[in-house]
Amino acid sequence: MRFERKPVTRRAVEIIAFLFWCVALAAAQPARSPLSSTNIFAPASTPAKTIFGLSVFVLAVTGVIFVVVFTLLAYSVVKFRGKAADIGREPPQVYGSTQIELAWTVIPVLIVAVLFLATARVIHAIQDAPKPAAALDVTVIGHQFWWEFRYPKLGIVTANELHIPVSDPAHPTPTFMKLLSADTDHSFWIPELGGKTDLIPNRVNEMWMDPHRPGIYLGQCAQYCGVQHAKMLLRVSVDTPADFDAWVSAQRRAATEDTKVIAGKHVFEATACINCHTVNGTVANGRFGPDLTHLMSRSTIASGAAENTPANLRLWLQNPDAIKVGSLMPAMQLSDADLDALTAYLETLR
C-alpha cells in the first residue's frame, strides 16, 4: 500500500469563504425598499428582531465550532499524513485520555444547554407576550390558494392584502392574529415581521407582530398546500395611524353603486360568481372565494399572482388558468360583451 500526500483542495476553501461572504453581505444590507423581496436580515418588528438575534447567536456558536473542527481536521491531515517510510509499519497505539474524553463530552453538553436555554427564552418571550388593550385583532384564514383576513372588532373582511398600523414603541399597538385553515395545512410567514406559524385544520394557532416602520412587507405561504402553493403570496401594508384609520373607514363603506355598470352587475349576479364571492349591498354572499366588496383597493389579484389592472382582471375572469393554473376558480365561458361589462363593474368596487 502506497501513501500519497493530498493537500487540502483550494476549491473547498474557496467555497467555504464564499458562503461566509454571502452571509456577511446579506446581514450587512440596509433595510429594503418597500417593493423589494423579502429579507430575513432586516427585521422590522419585535418578534422578528428577537428571532434574528437568536439566529446570529446560534450562527456565531456553530461558526466557532466549525472553525475549530475544520482547523483541527486540516492540521491532522497535514501533520499526520502517510509517508513512504511508514509503509508496512503499524501506527503508534494511543490509548484513551480521561481529560480529553471529559472535554469532548462536557463541552458539547454545555453548548447544547446554552443553545436550548437561549431558544427557550426566545420562544417564551414571543409566545407568552402580554396582549395590551390597544392591540388589533385579526383572524387569518388560509384557503387554497388565497388568504382571508377578518377584523372582528372593526367588522371588516378582506383578502390577500393585510393592513395593520405601525406600532410606536412609546404607545405599542401590536397586531395579534388568530390563524385558521379552511382546508389543508398552510403556513403564514412575513420574514421581516415574524417567524413562520402553521395554519392547521381544526386547530387554532396564534402569533403577533408590532411593525416599527411603515411600508409594504412581502411574504408567502411556507407550507406546501397544493398545486398553486408557490403563488399563495402575502402583502402586509403597515400604515401610519392616520392612513390605517382612512383604510378602515373606506373598507366599512358599502360597494359603490354606479348605474353606468348596471349590466356588469347583472352579469355578476346571474352567474355562479355569487356562490363564491361576497359584495356587500348585493345578493352576493359567498364564502368560498375572496370578498370583492373593495376589490380595486388591492394592488394585486389572485393572491399576488398578478398586478390588479383592468387587462389582468379581464384575463382572470376569462381564463383563470392563464394567470394561476389550478386556482380552483372556474372559467365562466362568458361572451366578450359580458366579460367587458363584468370587468367594468368590478372596477367600480373600491
Q: Where are the domains of the chain?
A: 10-127, 259-346
Does domain 10-127 fall into CATH 1.20.120.1730?
A: no
Query: In this structure, what C-alpha cell is assigned to residue 175?
Result: 397586531
Q: 259-346 maps to which CATH number? A: 2.60.40.420
At residue 84, the pLDDT reads 76
The type of residue at 146 is: W
At residue 24, the pLDDT reads 55
At residue 286, the pLDDT reads 84
At residue 21, the pLDDT reads 58
At residue 259, the pLDDT reads 74
Gap between the Cα atoms of 162 and 146, Å rounded: 12
Gap between the Cα atoms of 153 and 139, Å rounded: 10
Place of cell 491532522: 76
At residue 23, the pLDDT reads 55
At residue 35, the pLDDT reads 42
At residue 22, the pLDDT reads 56
Contact by Cβ (8 Å): 269, 277:
no
Low-confidence ranges of the chain (pLDDT < 50): 1-8, 30-36
At residue 350, the pLDDT reads 84
Gap between the Cα atoms of 150 and 94, Å rounded: 69
Query: In this structure, what C-alpha cell is assigned to residue 188?
Result: 403564514
Sequence-ordered list of residues with C-beta below 8 angstroms from that of 146, at least 6 positions apart, any chain: 159, 160, 232, 289, 290, 302, 303
At residue 16, the pLDDT reads 60
Q: What is the CA radius of gyration of the chain?
A: 28
pLDDT tens per residue across span 64-93: 999 999 999 999 888 888 777 777 787 777
At residue 50, the pLDDT reads 95
Helix (H) or strand (E) segment spanning residue 81: none
The residue length of the chain stands at 350
